[in-house]
Amino acid sequence: MTSTEHTALPKLFIREWAKHKGFDQKILAEKMDTTEATVSRLLSGQRKMTLEWLTAFSEVLGCAPADMFIAPNGERSPIRGAEQIRETLKRIQGLTDHDVQLHFELIMRDIKFNAAEYEQSQADDQPQLATPLREPKP
Protein backbone atom coordinates (compact mmCIF):
# COMPACT_ATOMS: atom_id res chain seq x y z
CA MET A 1 0.00 0.00 0.00
CA THR A 2 1.40 3.39 -0.95
CA SER A 3 1.39 6.38 1.36
CA THR A 4 -1.50 7.96 -0.56
CA GLU A 5 -3.71 4.88 -0.23
CA HIS A 6 -5.65 4.14 2.90
CA THR A 7 -8.16 1.59 4.04
CA ALA A 8 -11.54 2.96 4.96
CA LEU A 9 -12.20 2.05 8.56
CA PRO A 10 -15.55 1.83 10.27
CA LYS A 11 -16.72 5.12 11.76
CA LEU A 12 -15.69 5.87 15.32
CA PHE A 13 -18.27 7.61 17.49
CA ILE A 14 -15.85 9.36 19.86
CA ARG A 15 -17.38 12.80 19.35
CA GLU A 16 -20.84 11.41 20.07
CA TRP A 17 -19.62 9.68 23.25
CA ALA A 18 -17.89 12.87 24.38
CA LYS A 19 -21.06 14.91 23.77
CA HIS A 20 -23.09 12.25 25.61
CA LYS A 21 -20.75 12.67 28.62
CA GLY A 22 -20.75 16.47 28.34
CA PHE A 23 -17.09 16.70 27.28
CA ASP A 24 -15.65 18.99 24.65
CA GLN A 25 -12.22 18.60 23.03
CA LYS A 26 -10.59 20.72 25.73
CA ILE A 27 -11.91 18.49 28.52
CA LEU A 28 -10.93 15.34 26.61
CA ALA A 29 -7.41 16.71 26.15
CA GLU A 30 -7.07 17.58 29.84
CA LYS A 31 -8.32 14.18 30.99
CA MET A 32 -6.05 12.39 28.47
CA ASP A 33 -3.05 14.54 29.45
CA THR A 34 -2.50 15.74 25.90
CA THR A 35 -3.16 18.88 23.89
CA GLU A 36 -6.44 19.99 22.42
CA ALA A 37 -4.71 20.14 19.01
CA THR A 38 -3.77 16.45 19.29
CA VAL A 39 -7.37 15.51 20.15
CA SER A 40 -8.61 17.60 17.23
CA ARG A 41 -6.18 15.92 14.79
CA LEU A 42 -7.15 12.46 16.06
CA LEU A 43 -10.87 13.13 15.74
CA SER A 44 -10.55 14.71 12.29
CA GLY A 45 -8.38 11.89 10.94
CA GLN A 46 -5.32 14.11 10.45
CA ARG A 47 -3.49 11.90 12.94
CA LYS A 48 -3.64 8.11 12.93
CA MET A 49 -5.97 6.60 15.51
CA THR A 50 -3.99 3.87 17.25
CA LEU A 51 -5.24 1.29 19.70
CA GLU A 52 -3.47 3.25 22.46
CA TRP A 53 -5.37 6.44 21.57
CA LEU A 54 -8.65 4.55 21.22
CA THR A 55 -8.08 3.00 24.65
CA ALA A 56 -7.27 6.42 26.14
CA PHE A 57 -10.51 7.87 24.74
CA SER A 58 -12.53 4.94 26.05
CA GLU A 59 -11.01 5.20 29.54
CA VAL A 60 -11.82 8.90 29.74
CA LEU A 61 -15.33 8.33 28.41
CA GLY A 62 -15.95 5.35 30.72
CA CYS A 63 -16.63 2.71 28.09
CA ALA A 64 -14.82 -0.13 26.30
CA PRO A 65 -12.78 0.57 23.15
CA ALA A 66 -15.27 -1.54 21.17
CA ASP A 67 -18.03 0.85 22.27
CA MET A 68 -16.38 3.56 20.18
CA PHE A 69 -17.78 1.79 17.09
CA ILE A 70 -21.34 2.19 18.39
CA ALA A 71 -22.96 5.53 19.09
CA PRO A 72 -24.34 6.09 22.60
CA ASN A 73 -27.84 5.82 21.05
CA GLY A 74 -27.00 2.37 19.66
CA GLU A 75 -26.33 3.37 16.04
CA ARG A 76 -23.78 0.98 14.58
CA SER A 77 -21.16 1.67 11.96
CA PRO A 78 -21.45 -0.92 9.20
CA ILE A 79 -18.37 -2.94 8.35
CA ARG A 80 -18.24 -3.42 4.61
CA GLY A 81 -15.76 -5.22 2.43
CA ALA A 82 -12.99 -7.69 3.05
CA GLU A 83 -10.41 -5.11 4.15
CA GLN A 84 -12.71 -3.59 6.79
CA ILE A 85 -13.45 -7.07 8.13
CA ARG A 86 -9.73 -7.88 8.32
CA GLU A 87 -8.87 -4.51 9.93
CA THR A 88 -11.64 -4.91 12.50
CA LEU A 89 -10.39 -8.39 13.41
CA LYS A 90 -6.86 -7.01 13.83
CA ARG A 91 -8.20 -4.62 16.47
CA ILE A 92 -9.46 -7.43 18.70
CA GLN A 93 -7.12 -7.68 21.63
CA GLY A 94 -5.55 -11.12 22.07
CA LEU A 95 -5.93 -12.32 18.48
CA THR A 96 -2.65 -13.30 16.85
CA ASP A 97 -2.06 -12.75 13.13
CA HIS A 98 -2.80 -16.46 12.64
CA ASP A 99 -6.09 -16.13 14.57
CA VAL A 100 -7.06 -13.09 12.50
CA GLN A 101 -6.44 -15.03 9.28
CA LEU A 102 -8.47 -18.04 10.47
CA HIS A 103 -11.42 -15.91 11.59
CA PHE A 104 -11.25 -13.86 8.39
CA GLU A 105 -11.38 -17.02 6.24
CA LEU A 106 -14.36 -18.34 8.23
CA ILE A 107 -16.24 -15.06 7.86
CA MET A 108 -15.54 -14.87 4.13
CA ARG A 109 -16.60 -18.50 3.67
CA ASP A 110 -19.81 -17.78 5.57
CA ILE A 111 -20.52 -14.67 3.47
CA LYS A 112 -20.05 -16.65 0.25
CA PHE A 113 -22.23 -19.49 1.54
CA ASN A 114 -25.01 -17.10 2.58
CA ALA A 115 -24.82 -15.27 -0.76
CA ALA A 116 -25.13 -18.56 -2.66
CA GLU A 117 -28.00 -19.66 -0.43
CA TYR A 118 -29.76 -16.32 -0.98
CA GLU A 119 -29.34 -16.57 -4.76
CA GLN A 120 -30.77 -20.11 -4.69
CA SER A 121 -33.76 -19.01 -2.61
CA GLN A 122 -34.37 -16.13 -5.04
CA ALA A 123 -34.32 -18.59 -7.94
CA ASP A 124 -36.73 -20.89 -6.08
CA ASP A 125 -39.11 -17.97 -5.53
CA GLN A 126 -39.44 -17.26 -9.26
CA PRO A 127 -42.86 -18.19 -10.57
CA GLN A 128 -42.89 -21.06 -12.99
CA LEU A 129 -44.97 -20.84 -16.14
CA ALA A 130 -47.89 -23.18 -15.86
CA THR A 131 -48.46 -25.45 -18.79
CA PRO A 132 -51.95 -26.83 -18.80
CA LEU A 133 -52.19 -30.56 -18.78
CA ARG A 134 -54.13 -31.54 -21.87
CA GLU A 135 -56.17 -34.63 -21.80
CA PRO A 136 -56.19 -36.55 -25.04
CA LYS A 137 -59.54 -36.44 -26.86
CA PRO A 138 -61.30 -39.81 -27.12
Q: What is the per-residue pLDDT across 18-74, written as a single tens digit (0 to 9) for each?
A: 998 999 999 999 999 999 999 999 998 888 888 889 899 999 999 888 888 887 776
pLDDT at 106: 84
Residue 70: beta bridge partners? 76
pLDDT at 4: 38
Closest to 76 (Cα-Cα) out of 16, 8, 7 = 16
Q: How confident is the model at residue 5 (pLDDT cuts 50, 70, 90)?
A: very low
Q: Where are the domains of the chain?
A: 8-76, 79-119
b vs e for 123-134, b when ≥16 Cβ sit within 10 Å of the residue's Cβ? Answer: eeeeeeeeeeee
**CA–CA dist 22, 53 (Å, integer):** 20
pTM reported for the whole predicted model:
0.50
Q: What is the per-residue pLDDT across 66-99, written as a single tens digit (0 to 9) for each?
A: 888 887 776 665 666 788 778 878 877 777 899 8
**CA–CA dist 89, 101 (Å, integer):** 9
**Domain at 8-76, CATH class:** mainly alpha
